[in-house]
Structure formats: C-alpha cells, structure tokens
C-alpha cells in the first residue's frame, strides 16, 4: 500500500477570490486509476467561470483541466498505461453509455457528474487538507496540482519525446475549437467560415480551418490586437464588431451569400444571433462559448426557417481524445497546426497572474509549468 502523497495544489475557495496554493494530501489511485505527476497545465476560461460558480462545483476545489504529465503509479486493473508513460489528460466519460460507445464521449450521460461533481463516481474525493474534504476530479483531473489521480480512460498516452510542457491545452481549449471545426463543421478545401471570438478556442478553430484548406476565414472580435494576431496566423479577413455590423460585413466579404460555416466561441447572446444570421443558405453554425445556466439567445425562427441552416451545440469539439489528440500532435509536428504560438508559460506559483492575464486578454493561452 502506497502512502498518502503530499502535494502542492491551487485551491479555489470562493468566487472571484485568488486561488490559494497549499499542501494537500492525495489518496492512492483506485484500481482503474493512474497517478500522474503534472508537468504542465493550461488555464482555460472555464476554470475562472467555475471558480466564480457559474457551474456549481462544490468549493473548496482544485480546478485545472488541461494537464499533461508522467504516470507515476497505476491501479491494479489498468492494462493500457505504465509508470513512466507521458500522458495528456482529457475530460472524463463513463465509456459504457450509448454516447460513449457510439464515439461521442463528450456527451456521456454522466458527463456533468464525472467532470463537475467534485468527486469520483463513488462520491469520494481524492484530496484532503488536514482532514477537510477538497473537491477533486474537476474535468476528471483537477490539474492545478503537482500530482493527481485520474481514471486511466481519460489519460491519452503520447510519445515519450512529445513536448509535454506544451500539450496540456490539447485536452480542452485547443481541442474544443479545432474539434468543432474538424469533427463537426468539417469545412472542405476552398470553403468559407466565420469565427466569433479570437481567444484560445476561436484561434484553435481558425488554425484548424487553415489546416482543412478553408480559403475565406473571417475572424470577429472587439479587441483590435487579437484581430491583428489572427491575421498573422492565417485569417483572411477580420471584423471589429464594435465598429461595424459583423453580419453586413460578412455578407459583403462573401459576395452577399454569407459563410458556409460559423463558430461562436463567445457565448454572448447577441453574438450567437449574429452567427446564425451570417450563415449562407444551408450553412452550419456551432456554439462552443459557455454561458451561465438559464441564458437565452434571440433566434429569428421566422427568417431562418427557409435558410435551411443547421446549428449545433458542441462540447469539447465532440472529440474522442485518444483518437483526436494524436491527430492534433501530428498536425503540429508537420507545422500545420502551430498552436504553440497561442501559449505563454507561467510558473505554477504565478497561477493568479496567469488567470488575470487570461481574463484581461494579455495572454491567449497561459500554461503553468510545475
Ligand atoms: P477567451 O476569453 O480567450 O476568448 C473569448 C474572445 O471573445 C475574446 O477574444 C473576446 O474579446 C471575444 N468577445 C467577447 N465578447 C465579444 C463580442 N460581443 N463580440 C465579439 N467577440 C467578443 O476565451 P477562450 O479560452 O477562447 O474560451 C471561449 C469560450 O469557450 C469560453 O466561454 C469558455 O468557457 C468556452 N469553452 C467551452 C468549451 C466547450 O466544451 N464547449 C470548452 C472550453 C472552453
Ligand atoms: Zn476548458
């Protein structure tokens, strides 16, 4: 029997309050789990909105859901991972429900409980602070910590020489944007797409659209610096929606037709409406931006019916992580998906600065290194 491991972790204690780095106790991995020593963890907008309790994960909690690291222990029932393996962590899914067995684990019937419940499925938490229970298993991983226990199912093995320090965000923000484009919208070479929001998710979607060969790639945001950066990385057009009506401008750019695909990464109701109105006949739009539970968006069913458009709600790019993450790494290694340009490194001790820089937009994708 392995002893309880002392770890350093960033604890979210209350909404809009800085995370507190403390020593916690991590219990031993269950039969189906592995212990991972985190090498790095990305910071995602979703960490901040959960700290602020838009989704009611019980606090205190260790958040973090873009972890990458090295396996240091394996449970007795784990057959596909070994000590020393390099892994990227992905959201948890049950593996046996209808959505999981048909290749859509991001819609697992237990997704909410497994990723936002603050515990394992048996209700236990792997983390305590001097005997006080701390919520664990955030997105199946709680990666703002030096070590974590995760179900082997949500660990994606990658090559031993892969750049682990960089790869954590593939497990959420980067997978969300690129998966929405490559798995759901699927633009073909020569087609058009508009992406609302040029944060990590929107820019990952944009890089995926470039890789897929889309030839009209319109990025919409309200921050000029972000739009300039999008142009450098492959956007063909940018629209500052604070200055011009993005629906009109997108119609102009596309010769009056509208775009064949669109992605809303903002979760802002008027932006969702703009996305639906910017689509061409039989176009396909997807929402990935998160909004508070209960948020409603205007949707002109009168005008849009005859346009034949499709609108999808997409979680985590509808990805199968063990299939999709290796594809993203292969694209990155061939120079076709330079998501490293979105990343800035921070020491773990500077986690609250990383949150502030993500919030203010100074940094697109902060990655904490341990
Ligand atoms: P981000 O804050 O870096 O980017 C959002 C961008 O939207 C910013 O550049 C901002 O300037 C822009 N924006 C805000 N209001 C706007 C408006 N009215 N018009 C145009 N642009 C506007 O965030 P991110 O990391 O890219 O994440 C985007 C969203 O995706 C967040 O809501 C996050 O919680 C969510 N998310 C969802 C999933 C999922 O599975 N669906 C996964 C990860 C993240
Ligand atoms: Zn995320």
Give pLDDT tens digits for 204-238: 999 999 999 999 999 999 999 999 999 999 999 99
Question: Quick one: which atom of ligand 1 is closest to the CA of 287?
Answer: 41
pLDDT digits (tens, 9 = 90+) for 161-190: 999 999 999 999 999 999 999 999 999 999
| For residue 3, pLDDT beyond 80 | no
Looking at the predicted complex, does its ipTM rise above 0.95? yes
Across the chain, mean pLDDT equals 96
DSSP code of residue 305: G
Say if ligand 1 is within 6 A of residue 317 CB. no
pLDDT digits (tens, 9 = 90+) for 278-292: 999 999 999 999 998
Question: Quick one: which atom of ligand 1 is closest to the CA of 46?
Answer: 34
Task: Tell me how many helices (H) and strands (E) the chain has.
Answer: 12, 18
| For residue 296, pLDDT beyond 60 | yes
pLDDT digits (tens, 9 = 90+) for 90-143: 999 999 999 999 999 999 999 999 999 999 999 999 999 999 999 999 999 999
Which residues touch 336 (CB under 8 Å, ≥6 apart)?
211
Distance 329 CA to ligand 2 centre (A): 18
Joined together, the tokens standing for residue 115 give 């990723």
- What is the rounded average pLDDT of the residues 45-62? 94
- What is the rounded average pLDDT of the residues 332-354? 98
- As a whole-number percent, the residues of the chain with pLDDT over 70 amount to 99
Say if ligand 1 is within 6 A of residue 258 CB. no
The predicted pLDDT at position 32 comes to 97
Distance 197 CA to ligand 1 centre (A): 6
CA 176 to chain centre: 5
Q: Which residue has the tokens 């497990």?
A: 171
Say if ligand 1 is within 6 A of residue 176 CB. yes
Distance 49 CA to ligand 1 centre (A): 11
Residue limits of CATH 3.90.180.10 in the chain: 5-171+338-369
Q: 105 and 67 in contact (C-beta within 8 Å)?
A: no
Question: Quick one: which atom of ligand 1 is closest to the CA of 270?
Answer: 18
- What is the rounded average pLDDT of the residues 269-280? 98
Q: 2 falls in which pLDDT band (50, 70, 90)?
A: low
Distance 44 CA to ligand 2 centre (A): 5
Question: Quick one: which atom of ligand 1 is closest to the CA of 49?
Answer: 34
Joined together, the tokens standing for residue 60 give 């205190």
| For residue 147, pLDDT beyond 50 | yes
Give the side-chain half-sphere CA count within 13 A for 132. 11
How far apart (Å, rounded) are the C-alpha atoms in residues 84 and 89? 15
Q: 141 and 280 in contact (C-beta within 8 Å)?
A: no
Question: Quick one: which atom of ligand 1 is closest to the CA of 364?
Answer: 3
Domain 5-171+338-369 is in which class?
A: alpha beta
Residue limits of CATH 3.40.50.720 in the chain: 176-315
* Residue from 349, 351, 173 nearest 265 by CA: 173
* Residue from 142, 168, 166 nearest 156 by CA: 168
| DSSP one-letter string for 178-211 | HHIIIIII-PPTT-EEEEE--SHHHHHHHHHHHH
The predicted pLDDT at position 1 comes to 45
* Residue from 68, 251, 282 nearest 158 by CA: 68
Say if ligand 1 is within 6 A of residue 265 CB. yes
For residue 60, say if its preceding peptide bond is cis, omega within 30 degrees of 0.
Answer: yes
Ligand 1 atom 4: residue of nearest CA: 199
The predicted pLDDT at position 4 comes to 78
The predicted pLDDT at position 320 comes to 98
Q: 188 and 164 in contact (C-beta within 8 Å)?
A: no
* Residue from 267, 193, 232 nearest 45 by CA: 267
- The fold for domain 176-315 equals Rossmann fold (3.40.50)
């Amino acid at each position: 029997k392995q002893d309880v491991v002392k770890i350093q972790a960033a604890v979210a204690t209350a909404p809009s309050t800085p995370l507190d780095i403390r020593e916690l106790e991590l219990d031993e991995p269950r039969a189906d789990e592995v212990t991972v020593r985190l090498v790095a963890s990305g910071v995602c907008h979703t960490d901040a909105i959960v700290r602020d309790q838009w989704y009611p994960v019980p606090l205190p909690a260790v958040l973090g859901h873009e972890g990458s690291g090295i396996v240091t222990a394996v449970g007795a029932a784990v057959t596909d991972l070994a000590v020393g393996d390099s892994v990227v962590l992905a959201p948890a899914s049950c593996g046996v429900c209808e959505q999981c067995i048909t290749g859509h684990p991001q819609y697992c019937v237990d997704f909410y409980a497994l990723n936002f419940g603050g515990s394992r499925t048996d209700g236990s938490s792997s983390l305590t602070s001097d005997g006080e229970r701390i919520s664990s298993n955030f997105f199946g991983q709680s990666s703002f910590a030096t070590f974590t226990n995760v179900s082997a199912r949500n660990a994606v093995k990658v090559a031993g020489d892969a750049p682990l320090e960089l790869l954590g965000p593939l497990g959420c923000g980067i997978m969300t944007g690129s998966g929405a484009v490559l798995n759901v919208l699927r633009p073909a070479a020569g087609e058009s797409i508009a992406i609302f929001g040029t944060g990590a998710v929107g820019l990952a979607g944009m890089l995926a659209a470039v890789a897929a060969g889309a030839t009209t790639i319109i990025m919409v945001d309200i921050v000029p610096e972000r739009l300039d950066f999008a142009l450098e990385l492959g956007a063909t057009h940018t629209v500052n929606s604070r200055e011009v009506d993005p629906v009109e401008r997108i119609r102009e750019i596309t010769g009056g037709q509208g775009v064949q695909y669109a992605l809303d990464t903002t979760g802002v109701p008027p932006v969702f409406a703009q996305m639906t109105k910017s689509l061409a006949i039989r176009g396909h739009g997807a929402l990935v931006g998160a909004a508070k539970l209960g948020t409603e968006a205007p949707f002109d069913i009168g005008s849009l019916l005859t346009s034949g458009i499709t609108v999808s709600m997409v979680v985590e790019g509808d990805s199968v992580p063990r299939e999709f993450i290796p594809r993203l790494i292969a694209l990155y290694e061939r120079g076709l998906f330079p998501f490293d340009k979105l990343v800035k490194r921070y020491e773990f001790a500077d986690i609250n600065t990383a949150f502030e820089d993500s919030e203010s937009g100074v940094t697109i994708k902060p990655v904490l290194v341990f």
